[in-house]
């Protein structure tokens, strides 16, 4: 038995460097990721349940959950539509400037969020390039939920485009042809044939955009203005509590934010895993 285990071990670890790479990886993960995260648990363990409950159900905080969730939901829905359109146009059509448009899709990931934040705040303020045009129509974007959703949408643009694009590229041309020769109209064929095929990628991308929007800070705070109960997002609440040296309060809110995003990310991964299994006929 032991001999068997030893030979198995030798067979599987032909390549060198197991000990070294395990050591480096575990040291790094422990020091950089786990140790700081346990300090959050440590801070929270000093609170009783009723204190914790009191901290996380503060009315101003409850309002910020609503603002954040609503903004992120609007941003995710916008990105689902915009991302699908962009992926479709970039995969299916040829037009001048296509490579430039394709490269621009990644701008929100490459541009620092604070830069995006002040730029959007300036563009949409009442004397900015776009805000000036909207003001006579009675639409204000700065310091409203629209501004928050807009900033969240900007920073999460790449998610849907970049998850849908490769799937659409792999879609065989025969699928289109079959649908069209059967006499389906464009929109019917798209809804019945293309959309079900893209659905998993679309949901994954939209989910990732939503998670990213929930945690967004730098891009949102400038355009949101941070009016309590109205345009204050949850990550700003953590920041405000820290500036008041309220570490217990900040940690309690952080635990809610952290748990929510981890749960959502896990759900997206599981959902995606199940779908990949189905694609490969049950083999994970």
Partner 1 sequence: MIRIGDAPRVRRLLIGAALVLTALFLLLPLVAIFAQALMSGIDVYWQNLSDDYTLAAIGLTLLVAVITVPVNLVFGVFLAWLVTRFDFPGRRLLQTLIDIPFAVSPVVAGLVYLLLYGRNGWLGGWLDAHDIQIMFAWPGIVLVTLFVTCPFVARELIPLMQAQGSREEEAAVTLGASGWTIFRRVTLPNIRHALLYGVILTNARAVGEFGAVSVVAGAIRGETNTLPLQVEQLYQDYNTVGAFTSASLLALLALLTLAAKAALEWRAARRETAT
Task: Enumerate residues 136-155 that contact partner 1 by CB under 8 A.
Answer: 153-154
Dihedral-angle region of residue 15 (phi above 0 means left; psi in -120 to 50 means alpha; beta otherwise) = beta
Contacts of 78 (CB under 8 A, 6+ apart): 149, 153
Nearest one of 246, 261, 260 to 43, comparing CA atoms: 246
**Is residue 199 close enough to count as binding partner 1 by CB under 8 A?**
no
Of 68-87, which residues contact partner 1 (CB under 8 A)? 82, 85-86
In the complex, what is the shortest distance from the CB of residue 189 to partner 1, in angstroms, rounded to a whole number? Answer: 5
**Is residue 49 close enough to count as binding partner 1 by CB under 8 A?**
no
In the complex, what is the shortest distance from the CB of residue 73 to partner 1, in angstroms, rounded to a whole number? Answer: 17
**Is residue 14 close enough to count as binding partner 1 by CB under 8 A?**
yes
In the complex, what is the shortest distance from the CB of residue 65 to partner 1, in angstroms, rounded to a whole number? Answer: 13
Q: Based on the number of CB atoms within 10 Å of its own CB, is 177 exposed (0-12), middle (13-18) or buried (19 or more)?
A: exposed
**Is residue 204 close enough to count as binding partner 1 by CB under 8 A?**
no
Give the position of tokens 């895993």: 273
Provide φ and ψ at 246, rounded to 5°: -90, 75
Q: Read off the DSSP letter of residue 33.
A: I
The mark string for 84-103 relative to partner 1 (x by CB under 8 A, - otherwise) is -xx-xxx-xx-x-x-x-xxx
CA-based Rg of the chain, rounded to a whole angstrom? 24
In the complex, what is the shortest distance from the CB of residue 241 to partner 1, in angstroms, rounded to a whole number? Answer: 9
Window contacting partner 1 (CB under 8 A); options: 32-40, 48-56, 140-148, 162-170: 32-40
In the complex, what is the shortest distance from the CB of residue 200 to partner 1, in angstroms, rounded to a whole number? Answer: 17
Cα–Cα distance measured from residue 224 to residue 244, given in angstroms and rounded to the nearest whole number: 20
Q: Based on the number of CB atoms within 10 Å of its own CB, is 253 exposed (0-12), middle (13-18) or buried (19 or more)?
A: buried
**Is residue 198 close enough to count as binding partner 1 by CB under 8 A?**
no
Cα–Cα distance measured from residue 202 to residue 208, given in angstroms and rounded to the nearest whole number: 10
**Is residue 169 close enough to count as binding partner 1 by CB under 8 A?**
no
**Is residue 194 close enough to count as binding partner 1 by CB under 8 A?**
yes
The mark string for 100-129 relative to partner 1 (x by CB under 8 A, - otherwise) is -xxxxxxxxxxxxxxxx-xxx-xx-----x
Of 249-268, which residues contact partner 1 (CB under 8 A)? 250-251, 254, 257-258, 261-262, 264-265
In the complex, what is the shortest distance from the CB of residue 264 to partner 1, in angstroms, rounded to a whole number? Answer: 8
Nearest one of 257, 256, 267, 154 to 207, comparing CA atoms: 267
Number of shown-chain residues binding partner 1 (CB under 8 A): 95
**Is residue 134 close enough to count as binding partner 1 by CB under 8 A?**
no
Nearest one of 120, 176, 183, 167 to 146, comparing CA atoms: 120
Specify the residue, 77 or 118, whose C-beta has the smaller distance to partner 1: 118
Window contacting partner 1 (CB under 8 A); options: 48-56, 162-170, 243-251, 275-283: 243-251
Specify the residue, 47 or 111, whose C-beta has the smaller distance to partner 1: 111
The total number of residues shown for the chain amounts to 284
């Amino acid at each position: 038995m032991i001999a068997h285990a030893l030979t198995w071990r030798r067979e599987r670890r032909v390549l060198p460097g197991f000990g070294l790479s395990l050591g480096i990886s575990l040291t790094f993960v422990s020091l950089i990721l786990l140790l700081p995260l346990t300090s959050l648990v440590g801070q929270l363990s000093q609170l009783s349940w009723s204190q914790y409950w009191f901290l996380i159900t503060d009315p101003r905080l409850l309002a910020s959950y609503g603002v954040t969730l609503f903004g992120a939901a609007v941003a995710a829905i916008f990105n689902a539509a915009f991302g699908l359109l962009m992926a479709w146009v970039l995969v299916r059509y040829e037009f001048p400037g296509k490579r430039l448009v394709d490269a621009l899709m990644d701008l929100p990931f490459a541009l620092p969020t604070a830069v995006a934040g002040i730029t959007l705040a300036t563009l949409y303020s009442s004397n900015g390039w776009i805000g000036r045009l909207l003001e006579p129509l009675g639409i204000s974007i700065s310091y409203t939920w629209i501004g928050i959703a807009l900033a969240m949408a900007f920073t999460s643009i790449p998610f849907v485009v970049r998850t849908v694009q490769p799937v659409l590229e792999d879609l065989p041309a025969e699928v289109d042809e079959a649908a069209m020769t059967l006499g389906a109209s464009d929109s019917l064929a798209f809804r019945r044939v293309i959309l079900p095929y893209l659905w998993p990628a679309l949901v994954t991308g939209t989910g990732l955009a939503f998670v990213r929007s929930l945690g967004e800070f730098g891009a949102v705070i400038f355009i949101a203005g941070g009016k309590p109960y109205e345009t204050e997002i949850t990550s700003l609440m953590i920041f405000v509590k820290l500036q008041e040296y309220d570490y217990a309060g900040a940690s309690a809110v952080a635990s809610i934010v952290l748990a929510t995003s981890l749960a959502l990310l896990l759900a997206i991964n599981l959902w995606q895993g199940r779908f990949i299994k189905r694609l490969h006929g049950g083999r994970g």
